């Protein structure tokens, strides 16, 4: 079965750029999606189809997908961005999620 791998944790200082990676075999043959989940809340879509931002998502969130790795980038990270982030892709009509990355804003 298809697997997506994320680092368990990433730390960033306020105002700096955070990058969260998601690795999977030939991932760029698929679309990558990213969800933000703050403590005690439901997940929220922040990036879809590799690079697109839903309405209401700040411009500091961006995404890319090349080769085996998709990346979520948060520019000018703010304290409110501290959350768990999950990548997701489709493999033969099956949704696959990465294990999640806890972003800490120090």
Note whether 11 binds other proteins by CB under 8 A: no
Cβ neighbours of residue 20 closer than 8 Å, sequence gap 6 or more: 6, 7, 10, 34, 71, 72, 73, 74, 85, 87, 101, 103
Question: Which residue do the tokens 């304290």 mark?
Answer: 79
Does 2 engage in binding with other proteins (CB under 8 A)?
Answer: no
Residue choice 77, 82, 98, 105 for contact with other proteins (CB under 8 A): 98
**Which DSSP string do the residues of 32-56 spell out, in sequence order?**
-EEEEE-TTS--EEEEBTTTBPPTT
Least distance from other proteins to the Cβ atom of residue 50, Å = 11
Among 11-19, 20-28, 65-73, 89-97, the segment contacting other proteins (CB under 8 A) = 89-97
Residues in contact with other proteins by CB under 8 A are 1, 31, 33, 35, 42-45, 48-49, 54, 86, 88, 90, 93-100
């Amino acid at each position: 079965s298809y697997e997506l791998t994320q680092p368990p944790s990433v730390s960033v200082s306020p105002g700096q750029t955070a990058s969260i990676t998601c690795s999977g075999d030939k991932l760029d043959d698929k679309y990558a999606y990213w969800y933000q989940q703050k403590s005690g809340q439901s997940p929220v879509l922040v990036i879809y189809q590799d690079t697109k931002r839903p309405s209401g998502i700040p411009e500091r969130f961006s995404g890319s997908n090349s080769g085996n790795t998709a990346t979520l980038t948060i520019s000018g990270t703010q304290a409110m961005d501290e959350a768990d982030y999950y990548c997701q892709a489709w493999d033969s009509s099956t949704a696959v999620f990465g294990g999640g990355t806890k972003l800490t804003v120090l």
